[in-house]
Amino acid sequence: MKKSFKFIVAVAATSLVASVAVTPAAHGATKQKVCVALDTAGINDKSFNQSSYEGAKMALQRGFASSIKYAPAKSNADYAPNITKFISEKCTLIVGVGFLLGDAIAAAAKANPNVKFGFVDGWGLGNNVKAITYKTDENSFIVGYMAAAMSKTGKVGTYGGLQIPTVTIFMEGYANGVAHYNLMKNKNVQVLGWNTETKTGTFLGGFDDTTKALQTSISLEQQGADFIFPVAGGMQATTAANSQKTKKSSVIWVDAKVMNTGKQYANVTPVSVVKGLAEGVFATIKEAHDGKFTSKAYVGTMANKG
């Protein structure tokens, strides 16, 4: 589906693929070995992991880290071993990327009170853990309103990777934006894939099932959705590729700007709901470098461009 304009809701900086790098620190304060424990989608997921690691790269480039590295996870079973390995390697700040790392971070933080932890999409787990959180319902609301306004079929869709708060917050904001459009314009655009009353919706069961992502995308199109918001990390690429093939729907990119992490899909992606993952990770690393690390959560909003 071709659209005549591109409207970007952006709260984050660029996300580029990177490998481990080491440079001398440019600042004279605390030297830091920053280690990033990824979720299962990998460093090149064009979404969550990639954008978070970009924050570590930014910190390295600006001298707030003396070295950075990451550890990929093939499954949930890798979370704890990856963090344990980082501790044995004397990492001074360990950043866990994703809600699902909570148990592993909680255990490691309790056993190692002198090690600092950043927890992306996390929650408070002690004095040595900073949660890095985001009010992504804010920009999702705007995009929901936009999708409703642009829909030709009167139906828009969404799906998530897992039914966890950091996924459903996007879907809830999106659906509320559609509802607000209906209220303001006396319309009845339907949302497929999320129900704001029952808090139930469509989920893949993970963030790396391309087969199910394709099936879900096709199903939403068959039900009439001409806008699809995939809140499932890199699975948005599967949805966008299908949209290019069928020409039945447009896609809303998540976590990063489509022009940075999926520009080949820009012709079917008129909007990106960007989460300031790089900014949140960078701010946490800088705070630790400056000797100001606390357990007070970082909260990214549209107002602070996080």
How far from chain centre, in Å, is Cα 137?
Answer: 12
Q: What number is the average pLDDT over the span 231-237?
A: 95
> What confidence category does residue 194 fall into, taking pLDDT thresholds of 50, 70 and 90?
very high
Contact 296, 130 (CB under 8 A): yes
For residue 192, the cross-strand partners are 157
- pLDDT surpasses 80 at 248: yes
CA distance 67 to 83: 16
Residue appearing with tokens 């699902």: 100
Residue 271: strand, helix, or coil: strand
What Rg, from alpha-carbon coordinates, does the chain have?
19
> What confidence category does residue 29 fall into, taking pLDDT thresholds of 50, 70 and 90?
low
Q: What number is the average pLDDT over the span 283-288?
A: 97
Q: Most distant CA pair in the chain: distance in Å?
A: 60
pLDDT of residue 26: 46
Contact 140, 162 (CB under 8 A): no
**Domain extent listing, the chain:** 21-135+277-300, 137-274
What does DSSP say about strands 200-201 and 194-195: parallel, antiparallel, or unpaired? antiparallel
pLDDT of residue 30: 60
User: What is the topology classification, in CATH, of domain 137-274?
Assistant: Rossmann fold (3.40.50)
- Comparing 4 with 85, the larger pLDDT belongs to 85
| CATH code of domain 21-135+277-300 | 3.40.50.2300
Decide if 21-135+277-300 and 137-274 have a common fold: yes
Q: What number is the average pLDDT over the span 105-128?
A: 97
Mean pLDDT score of the chain: 91
